C-alpha cells in the first residue's frame, strides 16, 4: 500500500509543500466562490477568461505530476510535447462545461499531491526538465506549482490580492522575477526597493541595476512590489528619478 504521508523528512521541502498545498486550497476557495456564469468573465490576464485560468492551473498540475513521475521512475515524461500543445490544451480546456472544468482542477490537484506524497526521499534530487528546457531537481516542482496557484488565484479577479499571498512566497517570487530581468539585461537603469520589513529577509530588499549612476527607483511594500513586478498593476507603488517623483510608475519589464 502507498504511504499516507510525505516520504521526505527535509524540513525546507516540507515547508515548501505546505505553501503549495495552502495555495491550492486558496485557489480552490476562490474558484468555488465563482458561479458557473462567472467563469465566462474576464480574468486579469489579457485575452484569457476565468475559464482559461482554471484550465491552465488544472493542466499545469498534470504537467508537473509528469515531472514527479519522471523522478520516481527514471522514465522521461516531459511536461508537454511542445509549447504549442500546451497552448492548445488550455484553449480546449476553456471550452469544457463548468462541472468538467471544476473536476479538472480538483482531480489534477489531488493527483499531483499524491505523486509528491509518495515520492521517495532520495528521488527528490533526481533531475527533470521544465517546459523551458531548464534541468532542475524534482524538488523544484514544488515551487513551480506554488507560484502558479497563488498568482493565478489573484488572476481569477474575484477578490484575491497579492496581500493574500504569504510573505515567503512573495519574497521568493520577487527574487525570481528580478533575477530573470537581470539575466536578460532588461533591468538596466532600474532599481526596485521594498519599503516594508519582511520576516527572514535582509533589512533592505533591493533589486535591479544596483550599479546604475542614475536609476529610476520603483518602490513600495512587498505585496505591491511583487504585484507590479509580475505585471499585475502598479497600485501602491511610487517611482522617482534623480530624486524627483515621477507622475507614472513605469511598467515592469516582462517576467516570462
Task: Write out the three cell numbers for 39.
Answer: 467563469
CA distance 23 to 205: 24
Collect all residues with Cβ–Cβ distance below 8 Å to 95 and sequence separation of at least 6. Answer: 51
Residue with cell 509518495: 118
- Do the beta carbons of residue 34 and residue 158 sit within 8 Å? yes
What's residue 201's pLDDT?
Answer: 72
Nearest to 44 by CA among 144, 143, 159: 159
What's residue 1's pLDDT?
Answer: 41
What's residue 204's pLDDT?
Answer: 77
What's residue 121's pLDDT?
Answer: 96
For 108-142, give one letter per residue: b (16+ CB within 10 A) or e.
bbebbbebbbbbeeebbebebebbeeeeeebbbbb
- Is the pTM above the cut of 0.85? yes
One digit per residue, pLDDT tens: the chain, 256 residues?
Answer: 455 799 999 999 999 999 999 999 999 999 999 999 999 999 999 999 999 999 999 999 999 999 999 999 999 999 998 888 999 999 999 999 999 999 999 999 999 999 999 999 999 999 999 988 889 999 999 999 999 999 999 999 999 999 999 999 999 999 999 999 999 999 999 999 999 887 777 777 899 999 999 999 999 999 999 999 999 999 999 999 988 999 999 999 999 8
Collect all residues with Cβ–Cβ distance below 8 Å to 56 and sequence separation of at least 6. Answer: 48, 90, 93, 152
Strand partners, 137: 127
| Crossing angle between the packed helical segments 83-93 and 50-73, to the nearest 10 degrees | 130
CA distance 197 to 205: 9
Instruction: State the first-to-last Cα distance of the chain, in angstroms, to the nearest integer.
Output: 41
CA distance 130 to 68: 11
Give alpha helix (H) positions in the chain. Answer: 11-32, 50-73, 83-93, 98-118, 140-155, 167-184, 222-229
Q: Domains (ranges, CATH) in the chain? A: 11-160 (1.20.120.450), 167-245 (3.30.1050.20)
Amino acid at each position: 500500500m502507498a504511504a499516507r504521508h510525505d516520504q521526505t523528512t527535509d524540513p525546507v521541502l516540507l515547508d515548501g509543500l505546505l505553501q503549495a498545498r495552502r495555495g491550492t486550497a486558496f485557489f480552490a476557495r476562490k474558484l468555488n466562490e465563482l458561479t458557473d456564469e462567472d467563469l465566462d468573465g474576464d480574468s486579469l490576464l489579457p485575452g484569457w477568461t476565468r475559464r482559461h485560468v482554471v484550465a491552465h492551473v488544472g493542466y499545469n498540475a498534470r504537467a508537473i505530476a509528469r515531472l514527479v513521475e519522471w523522478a520516481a521512475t527514471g522514465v522521461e515524461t516531459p511536461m508537454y510535447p511542445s509549447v504549442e500543445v500546451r497552448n492548445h490544451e488550455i484553449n480546449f480546456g476553456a471550452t469544457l462545461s463548468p462541472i468538467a472544468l471544476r473536476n479538472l482542477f480538483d482531480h489534477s490537484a489531488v493527483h499531483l499531491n499524491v505523486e509528491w506524497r509518495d515520492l521517495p526521499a532520495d528521488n527528490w534530487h533526481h533531475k527533470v526538465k521544465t517546459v523551458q528546457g531548464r534541468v532542475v531537481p524534482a524538488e523544484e516542482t514544488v515551487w513551480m506549482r506554488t507560484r502558479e496557484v497563488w498568482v493565478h488565484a489573484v488572476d481569477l479577479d474575484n477578490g484575491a490580492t497579492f496581500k493574500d499571498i504569504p510573505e515567503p512566497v512573495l519574497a521568493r517570487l520577487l527574487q525570481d522575477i528580478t533575477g530573470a530581468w537581470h539575466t536578460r539585461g532588461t533591468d538596466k537603469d532600474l532599481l526596485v526597493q521594498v519599503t516594508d520589513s519582511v520576516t527572514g529577509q535582509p533589512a533592505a530588499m533591493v533589486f535591479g541595476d544596483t550599479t546604475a549612476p542614475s536609476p529610476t527607483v520603483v518602490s513600495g511594500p512587498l505585496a505591491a512590489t511583487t504585484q507590479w513586478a509580475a505585471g499585475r498593476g502598479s497600485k501602491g507603488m511610487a517611482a522617482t528619478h534623480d530624486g524627483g517623483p515621477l507622475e507614472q510608475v513605469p511598467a515592469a519589464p516582462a517576467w516570462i
